[in-house]
Structure 1
Amino acid sequence: MTFYRWFTFVLTVSALVISSLIFRFSPDRLVVYGNELKFKYGSHVPVNSRNWLTTTVFRNQVTSFSTFNRSLVEIVNPRTVYRVSEQVIIRIEARTANGSIQPFGGDFLRMKLFSKKPYSAIGPDTFIDYDNGTYLASFTLRWQGIVNVSVQLVHPRCVIDTLKGITQEGIVESFVFIGRFEKQRQNGTSYVEKVQCGLQPRQIPFCNLSANHTHGPWFCNKAENSNISCRDWTHFNFDASKSTKKLKKLITPKEYKALLRTKVPFTTLPMPSFQVEASNITSSFTTSKLPLCNFQPVPTGISTRGFFHKGIWQPFDCRLTHFESEQVQSCLNFKSMYFYGDSTARQMYEYIILKKINCVDNGNKWMRHCTGQNTTMLFKFHGPPVRKGTPGSVRELGYIADEIDNNQEGGPGVYIILSLWAHLVYPDKTFYRDRLLSVKSAIDRLLERRPETRIIVRSANIREHSIGAFLLVSSDWVALQGERILRDVFSKDERISFLDVWDMTLVQECPDNVHPRETTLIQMLDYLLTMICQ
């Protein structure tokens, strides 16, 4: 262990020990950005806990929740000047609208330190929820300048209880998927009918369009027209308006009101800020001695793994290369990149195709072969469920396990990038896990045939929260539960590499979006290409 890493480790441990002494009780869990390490309950029960070891907050008890303008944000170890590589500990005291301290924890908070121009930002090393309205976050200082504190209330505790109470059956019943069935006769006669589809049969008779071996349950009502058979399914789409109205009926008006108060910045005045100067150990975070980022296995937990420095994403343990178009074309010579999954995978595919390489359009926008560079690029959307508003052709979809088993050639220079989260995370966690396990099994078979193939799994990312009751299935908290499952499934195989963009989007400068803005997307692609193009 280098002196710098040892020094940082000692500071972190010391800060957490001191903070525990300050509050004189043991936390029930230490949360390191989603990775919960359970501790035995300490002998000192929080004085304002209201019997927190035994009391359960039920969904119908939405009486008070943490507010953004009354809660307290302060520095535990305040100083006029800090040094690079030192620790800062932030204390948050959640308060209700009348100014009283919350008697319980469980708020879903988002925190960062940041500097405005040029933009730099980092998430916490550790985050402690004391379950009595008090939270602590520790940060390692990585750059010089004026540093500001940002705390955002993503969801209060009562909303988390609401999200936990939503059932699989409620979601499945609320989603309105439309299937278009079309039969064309040789004499020119055409029969068309639209029916409702979903993860379970809606009525009898129905069409079973499931792919059981890839855990792809899918059913559509049978067309009333006898000329149309179950084989005539041609198009699909999702009725977001009707689905949102049905989702809203799953919760009470009070719960809905609380749900809409999302991603609200704390406005405690004044929010802390401080000066950071060079230290005797290092003047700033330098990358010159770090190796280039290479293929790394999927981690088991979720933690802060890097930070933005002057607008550039910098992992802690490696450095990235920024790629201009000419460098991308040169890098991808004699390589094939296959993007499988949702629209976040499509976004990466399209950006490379449109802005980074010069490929002739061969009439298939989802597959390009660049003859000059002998480069192949492909995107394929995963199988149902797909929440796509405009009608799409069934031929655009493919269960990823089937694609890998039946159509995928592996070998040296072949890179498969998987992004599987936005449409597949449901309250019943077994559905998402089983779908991922079917993909994992197909990967195992491919690597047995062609072990030189590179598999890269992309993490989920933070997204916008401006879609009303749809937050019941698309909230960042819901995505976080899926992210834990994804890492658990793929972290068991060191042959599978990871593109971690979760903590990158947590502290990004641009507004949150399910499809990250270009400034963040460029950092993601630089990370991906640095791994591939060494």
Structure 2
Amino acid sequence: SSFSTISLPLFLCTSFWRVCIYFCNGQLLQAFPVCYKKTQLIQKEVKKILAKLDQQIPNVSFSDTRTTTSPEDSKAILLNQKDNYCVGEQLMVLLDMFDHMGKRKAYGGDFFKVRIYSPSIQAGASGHIMDYRNGTYLVSFTLLWEGPIRVSLLLMHPSEGVSALWKARKKVYDKIAFTGKYLNGTSEVSVECGFVMNTSEELCKYLDERDEEAFYCLKPGNIPCEAFVQLMSKNSPISYLTALEMELLDSIHPGVEIPQKFGQIQVSVCTTEMSIQKCNFGLSSHHPTGFAWQNQWYPRFCSITIFRTLKITTCLERKLILFLGDSTLRQWLEYFMKYLKSRKTLIQTDFSEIGRLFSPLLENIQIHWKKHGHPFVTTSEYMTTDHSYAAREIDTVAGDKDTAIVVSLGQHFRPFPIELFIRRMINIREAVQRLFLRSPETKVIIKSENLRKTDIDLERFGDFHGYTQMLAVKDIFQGLNVGFIDAWDMSIAYDTSDVHPPYHVVGNQINLFLNYIC
């Protein structure tokens, strides 16, 4: 009874009670505080990261859409204007934001996508935004190549829309409806599943007690919970936006250009200084992380090798590669299969079923892809019999200098409260730290999310949610010796908003990965 006031998830309390029955004569007093201390530390870190995000996101309301940020009525001013710029210099643009009635905004929090680009040479790079929280923003671009350069300043969401999306995300877990399938001989039953089940009916509980992961399904009559074989999902017909907030998000299409009068600028090479440092592990605070030039990605502060077919095969030889995540990493495996097909190094794999894919290569190479654990949001049914969380998969890896793991989560988490994503990534970080203890030479790379199209359901899947998740990932893995592939930055530089980007963009993500492991 002395433990009854402790605030823990129900399944953890149940688990510890079973431990209490098993361990007696004081042994529980040694076992319980260790588990509870870990729970407390993780909960504290989740709250800390969430608090940081809350500080960066506006908390504003409005009663008239005319008082919200208007991209057409706002102004962009080039601060350091001159006839010619040098490669490596900064281009500084001041944004003054106004509402639809011509009144200057008194607070910040608008969500932008900014880039410089040169269409003639297929070059592009993102910019950095400083929010003064008074309606003024300073956008800085590092000029990274020679030639005529244009500036793009897009308002993706006004601050009022950002605030509405953030509040709506915090509500509940029921924006996605899951349907689970159970098989018992020839019997097939479909039931409701989810992270939270508001019902008094008996449940099948799929729990990872160590990492506090939980998923539930209504128990299908006399069929055992172990007969859970498939899962699928669909969008629930609900919204947590008010009618006025929905009107705002519908009326201002994401990606409206802010007017500018300075036009094209000219950049010249004024010095031949070049970086020759190899790309190192560890998250960089530099922005942008790199730039696209003639469809090739170049990191800013290190040199890379361009891997062609022979070099790719040589690099991968004797390697064990594990991709853990969503279909944007499955796309990597498809790339390898397509790119190396002429060398007959890959055995064709059937992609008709979403789940675990294993491609043994003929030259002592193994590449695995496995989907991350719940939530996996898709209208296609996928198998759950091999279902496990990424942290558990990492725990099964022995590791050595020829082993590499790539993790990419995010797209499927956007419809749910961000605490779920933060906790999952903390669990993955803990697993990576355990892996480094037993095998410091194993290489771990984190790939951030890609952007996706703006004409989708913004409340569930909009890029603003992906942006907040990327900020959380950088916070969680800061200081850890992992590689980081900033797919978000690449998406902006290449001006692609396809969740499955074009072939050349995927190839550049993989090229950076190969530079990390070889």
TM-score normalised by the chain length of structure 2: 0.81
Displacement of 1:153:
0.6
Matched-pair contact (CA < 8 Å) for 2:323–2:405: yes
2:126 is the alignment partner of 1:123: yes
Report 1:32-431 matches (<5 A): 57-58=60-61, 62-124=65-127, 126-170=128-172, 172-184=173-185, 190-203=186-199, 204-223=201-220, 225-226=221-222, 228-240=223-235, 243=236, 245-246=237-238, 249-260=239-250, 261-266=252-257, 268=259, 270=261, 272-279=263-270, 281-282=271-272, 289-293=275-279, 295-299=280-284, 301=285, 303-356=287-340, 358-361=344-347, 366-371=357-362, 373-395=363-385, 397-406=387-396, 408-425=397-414, 428-431=417-420
Q: Could you say what secondary structure the match of 2:506 adopts?
A: helix
Instruction: Tell me which of 422, 441, 452 is aligned to 1:452.
Output: 441
Cα distance change on mapping 1:318 and 1:100 into 2, 3 Å = same
Distance in 1 of aligned mates of 2:466 and 2:181: 30
CA distance in 2, matches of 1:473, 1:440: 26
Shift of the alpha carbon at 1:269? Answer: 5.8
Q: What SS is found at the alignment partner of 2:80?
A: coil
SS in 2 for 1:67: strand
**Partner letter of residue 276 of structure 1?**
V
Equivalent pair of 2:425/2:476 in contact (CA under 8 Å): yes
Kindly indicate whether the alpha-carbon contact (under 8 Å) linking 1:335 and 1:375 is maintained by their aligned counterparts in 2: yes
8 Å CA contact 1:150–1:265 kept in 2: the answer is no
Question: Which letter maps to 2:96?
Answer: E
Residue of structure 2 aligned with 1:436, choices 425, 430, 443: 425
Q: State the AA in 2 paired with 1:332.
A: L
Q: Is the 8 A contact 1:195 1:221 kept in 2?
A: yes
Q: Is the 8 A contact 1:215 1:435 kept in 2?
A: no
Deviations 1:432-491 (A, max 9, x none): 2221222222223333333322111112232222213xx223222211221122122222
Separation in 2 of the partners of 1:217 and 1:206?
12
Partner residue in 1 for 2:494: 508
SS at match of 1:147: strand
1:472 correspondence with 2:459: yes
Q: Which residue of 2 aligns with 1:487?
A: 474
CA contact (8 A) 1:216 1:383 kept: no
Distance 1:319 1:159, change over 3 A: same
| Shift in Å, 1:492 | 3.4
Q: Which amino acid letter does the alignment assign opposite residue 371 of structure 2?
A: F
Shift of residue 363, structure 1, vs aligned partner: 6.1
Answer whether contact 1:72 1:94 (CA < 8 A) is retained: yes
1:111-140 Cα offsets, whole Å, 9 max, x none, are 11211111222222x422232322221223
> What one-letter code is carried by the residue in structure 1 that aligns with 2:450?
N
Deviations 1:78-116 (A, max 9, x none): 223333333321122222223332232211112112111
Answer yes or no: is the 8 Å Cα contact 1:324–1:356 preserved in 2. Answer: no
Q: Cα 1:101–1:391, aligned 2, differ >3 Å: closer, same or farther? A: same
How many angstroms does 1:338 deviate by? 0.7
1:221 partner letter: L
- The total of aligned residue pairs comes to 456
Letter in 2 for 1:305: T
| 8 Å CA contact retained: 1:179, 1:233 | yes
Shift of 1:529: 0.9
CA 1:167 to 1:269, structure 2 compared with 1: closer, same or farther past 3 Å?
closer
Judging changes above 3 Å, is the alpha-carbon distance between structure 1 residues 306 and 109 closer, same or farther for their aligned structure 2 residues? same
Letter in 1 for 2:247: K
Q: Which residue of 2 aligns with 1:31?
A: none
Aligned-residue offset at 1:67: 2.2
Counterpart-to-counterpart distance in 2, 1:434 and 1:273: 45
Structure 2 distance, partners of 1:416, 1:375, is 14
Q: 1:338 to 1:113 in 2, by over 3 A?
A: same
Deviates more, 1:373-382 or 1:475-484: 475-484
CA distance 1:427–1:122, change in 2 (3 Å): same
Q: 2:502 aligns with which of 517, 521, 527?
A: 517
Distance 1:69 1:120 in 2: 26
Deviations 1:328-374, CA, capped at 9 Å, x for gaps: 11211111111011112211122112323634537666112123x10
In structure 2, what residue type is equivalent to 1:95? Answer: F
For residues 97 and 175 of structure 1, do their structure 2 counterparts lie closer, same or farther at Cα, with a shift above 3 Å needed? same
RMSD of aligned alpha carbons: 2.6
Q: Secondary structure at the residue paired with 1:214?
A: coil
Assess, with a 3 A threshold, how the Cα gap between structure 1 residues 397 and 502 changes in structure 2: closer, same or farther.
Answer: same
Q: Deviations over 1:281-328 (max 9, x none)?
A: 34xxx75x52342x41134x5732211223321111112222222221
Separation in 1, partners of 2:461, 2:216: 23
Whole-angstrom distance in 2 between the partners of 1:443 and 1:130: 37
- Kindly indicate whether the alpha-carbon contact (under 8 Å) linking 1:166 and 1:427 is maintained by their aligned counterparts in 2: no
Q: Unaligned regions of 5+ residues in structure 2, if any? A: 1-51, 352-356
CA distance in 2, matches of 1:56, 1:364: 47
Distance 2:440 2:463 in 1: 35
* Identity value in percent: 25
2:168 maps to a residue whose letter is I
- How far 1:148 sits from its partner (Å)? 0.8
How far apart are 1:155 and its partner, in Å?
Answer: 0.8
Amino acid at match of 1:479: G
Which AA in structure 2 matches 1:329?
T
Q: Please give the alpha-carbon distance, in whole angstroms, between the structure 2 residues aligned to 1:86 and 1:438.
A: 41
Q: CA 1:110–1:177 in 2, change beyond 3 Å: closer, same or farther?
A: same
Structure 1: runs of 5 or more not aligned: 1-34, 40-54, 185-189
Query: Structure 1 length as normaliser, TM-score?
Result: 0.79
8 Å CA contact retained: 1:75, 1:272: no
Change (3 A) 1:482 1:127: same
TM-fit CA distance, 1:419 = 0.9
